[in-house]
Amino acid sequence: MRKYFFSSDHKVIGLQYYFLALVAVIVSITLSVLMRLRLTWPESNWPLMSAIFPSAFNASGQMTPEFYLSMMTMHGTIMVFFVLTIAPQAAFGNYFLPLQIGASQMAYPRLGQTSFGLTFLAFFLLITAFFVTGGAPLSGWTAYPPLSAISSAGPGQALGMDIWLISVGIFSIAAILNSINFILTILTKRANGMKLMWLPLTCWGWLATAMISLLAFPVLIAAALMLFFDRRMGTDFFVPGGLIVGGRLVDLHNGTPVIWQHLFWFFGHPEVYIAILPGMGLISHLLAIFSRKPVFGYRTMVYSMLAIALLGFLVWGHHMFVTGISPYSSMAFSFLTLIIAVPSSVKTLNWLGTLWGGKIQLTTPMLYSIGFVSLFITGGLGGIFLGQSSLDIYLHDTYFVVGHFHLIMGSSAIFAIFAATAFWFPKVVGRQMNEDLGKVHFFLTFVGVYAIFLPMHFLGIAGNPRRYAEISEFLYLNQLQPIHKFITIAMLVTVNSQLLFLINLVTSVFAGKKVKENPWQATTLEWSTSSPPPPNNFEGEPPNVCRGAYEFSIPNEEKDFLMQID
């Protein structure tokens, strides 16, 4: 009990985070399946669902649009916070950061335990929002006021919205504590001889992400607190004057709702990089290992990661082109946004440079990594369109945006999680995941993800707005229904093929192929200790690092790799 639930061992905390993310992703995917079904077959009846949530269905048994919106809100919130934020950073980071830098534990073990506890509490609270009076909130994961500030704006906007705000606040505190722990671990706990420029790129990814979290989450807390005060303490920050909700004039106010958007996106845009930067670090790492080549341009990789982290704070305005901000600031934000393409292209070029001429081994983690690069490029190309204010005015709030961010932020980061799982599974369990099953899963998911999200770009260009529970009311959208059907069927196939991954994950724990401590012939410190690692990570002497992380295929050497401790 003590060992697995209330441990301050970083490895246990990492696994706890991983399983929390797994539960969250299952809940969240279920929500998106229900949403797609509602969108594609609006007339269908849901006997089982209406037994659980009677208020979410009308008299003839159809799901209400309000319930669709609350599912959409919860899908976004759970995915962004409890999957994309915690799985790449907190789960794998907590487990492997100390191992990779040669430390016996994190700098503040109990702080790690506290942040997991708070994260778990936040998730539990968020789920309860479904079961309180009125149900979950409807205002999307962005919670734009004034609708999110007024309890009468919708069924979930009363108690559900309060719970949402409290949950997000607690989550943010946990994320800040976790990032302080990460930064100080990297700065103070490195093994003897480990220079910063010898760190594996995974660690650089975690460091950059921790720095962003430290600077971005406080702004979200401030915004959530002010919104909460608006709702419960009678302050007047975000609700504008002359507002009519549900046909009635809201009492006298003179707040400015656009301020919320400034605060939210000042956090929200860096949040995108919080989800993707650990993946970038990891993919750089894996591509080098499975090409048996040093990372092409290690230093530029590090600097471009830091550049992305910095630029991420300067571009929040590109989410607000249609809110009536000055066209001049739109232009500035547009310009800065497109500048991010430079460090991103540097990274892509370096990934391809790492692959170029390497002895490529197409193992499962490598396939997921290549999938990541592909999705990142495709999603990034969509970003070039959205980053320009002139095009964004048309494409904003259409399915183009949905397709874009699901490709670049959602699917890429999820592919990085798959890659990390397959890659580090032998270290955690001592057995390998099934390669054949993994490859089948990769191909189904890879094709499936494109089949789902590429057509959404066309829907967006055709003018299909997002967040609509059904489109059959609109003449010009009716002809798009076949594309929606295609997407939904592709989605059902893809979601079901995730069962392969789950089966593989569970059965490999008991029946996977047993492997030695370094099955991938990797160079970093975690592969020099036993699998699973002992409680203090390294038996005997602490490791002594004498070279960089990517010493592959060195001329005139017997082995094609040198460990960092050799």
Partner 1 sequence: MSVIETKDKVKDNQTTSGGGNKANNNNQGYGGGGDGDKGGKGGGKIEPKKVTNSPMLFVLFAMIPITIFFGAIVFVYIYREISNGWQPIKMPPAAVSSTIVLIISSITLEIARKALKNKQLERFKRWIMISTFFGIAFFTSQLVAWKQLMAKGVYMASTNPHANFFYMLTGVHAVHLFGGLIGLFYVLLGAIYYRFSADRRNAVDVATTYWHFMDGIWIFLFLLLFVWK
Minimal CA–CA distance to 78: which of 5, 129, 7? 129
Residue 522 exposure: Cα atoms within 13 Å on the Cβ side? 26
- Residue 43 CB, nearest approach to partner 1 (Å): 46
The amino acid occupying position 455 is P
- Which residue, 234 or 555, is less far from partner 1 as judged by CB? 234
Give the whole-angstrom CA distance, residue 501 versus residue 417.
12
- Residue 381 CB, nearest approach to partner 1 (Å): 33
The amino acid occupying position 274 is I
Give the whole-angstrom CA distance, residue 503 versus residue 454.
28
Give the whole-angstrom CA distance, residue 321 versus residue 396.
8
- Residue 103 CB, nearest approach to partner 1 (Å): 7
- State how far Cα 61 lies from the chain centre: 35
Minimal CA–CA distance to 321: which of 311, 333, 310? 333
- Which residue, 357 or 542, is less far from partner 1 as judged by CB? 542
- Residue 105 CB, nearest approach to partner 1 (Å): 10
- Which residue, 195 or 513, is less far from partner 1 as judged by CB? 195
To the nearest 10 degrees (0 to 180), the angle between helices 435-461 and 481-511 is 160
- State how far Cα 440 lies from the chain centre: 24
- Residue 193 CB, nearest approach to partner 1 (Å): 8
How far, CA to CA in Å, does 48 sit from each of 31, 51, 71, 169, 365?
Answer: 15, 5, 16, 34, 39
How far, CA to CA in Å, does 296 sit from each of 94, 159, 201?
Answer: 27, 52, 12
- Which residue, 239 or 407, is less far from partner 1 as judged by CB? 239
- Residue 214 CB, nearest approach to partner 1 (Å): 6
Give the whole-angstrom CA distance, residue 86 versus residue 209.
11
- DSSP-assigned letters across all residues of 510-544: HHSEE--S-TT---SGGGGS-SSPPTTSSSSSPPB
- Residue 261 CB, nearest approach to partner 1 (Å): 12
- Residue 196 CB, nearest approach to partner 1 (Å): 13
Which residues sit opposite 245 in a β-bridge? Answer: 248
- Residue 179 CB, nearest approach to partner 1 (Å): 9
Q: Are residues 168 and 77 in contact, defined by beta-carbon separation less than 8 angstroms?
A: yes
- Which residue, 102 or 519, is less far from partner 1 as judged by CB? 102
- Residue 168 CB, nearest approach to partner 1 (Å): 14
- Which residue, 24 or 215, is less far from partner 1 as judged by CB? 215
- Which residue, 125 or 184, is less far from partner 1 as judged by CB? 184
- Residue 540 CB, nearest approach to partner 1 (Å): 10
- Residue 266 CB, nearest approach to partner 1 (Å): 8
Give the whole-angstrom CA distance, residue 63 versus residue 59.
10
- Which residue, 259 or 462, is less far from partner 1 as judged by CB? 259
- Residue 152 CB, nearest approach to partner 1 (Å): 17
Strands (E), 183-308: 244-245, 248-249
Q: Which residues bind partner 1 (CB under 8 A)?
A: 102-103, 107-108, 111, 176, 180, 183-184, 188-192, 214-215, 217-219, 221-223, 225-226, 229, 233-237, 252-256, 259, 262-263, 266, 541-542, 544
- Residue 86 CB, nearest approach to partner 1 (Å): 18
- DSSP-assigned letters across all residues of 73-141: HHHHHIIIIIIIIIIIIIIHHHHHHHHHHT-SS-S-HHHHHHHHHHHHHHHHHHHHGGGSTT-S--STT
- DSSP-assigned letters across all residues of 134-154: T-S--STTTT-TTGGG-GGGS
Phi-psi region of 370 (alpha: psi -120 to 50; beta: other; left: phi over 0): alpha
Give the whole-angstrom CA distance, residue 321 versus residue 336.
13
- Which residue, 114 or 508, is less far from partner 1 as judged by CB? 114
Residue 253's φ and ψ, nearest 5 degrees, are -145, 160
- Which residue, 200 or 371, is less far from partner 1 as judged by CB? 200
- Which residue, 230 or 392, is less far from partner 1 as judged by CB? 230
- Which residue, 188 or 326, is less far from partner 1 as judged by CB? 188
Q: Which 3 state secondary structure label does DSSP give 257?
A: coil
Minimal CA–CA distance to 168: which of 247, 245, 78? 78
- Which residue, 225 or 495, is less far from partner 1 as judged by CB? 225
Give the whole-angstrom CA distance, residue 528 versus residue 518.
7
- Which residue, 259 or 489, is less far from partner 1 as judged by CB? 259
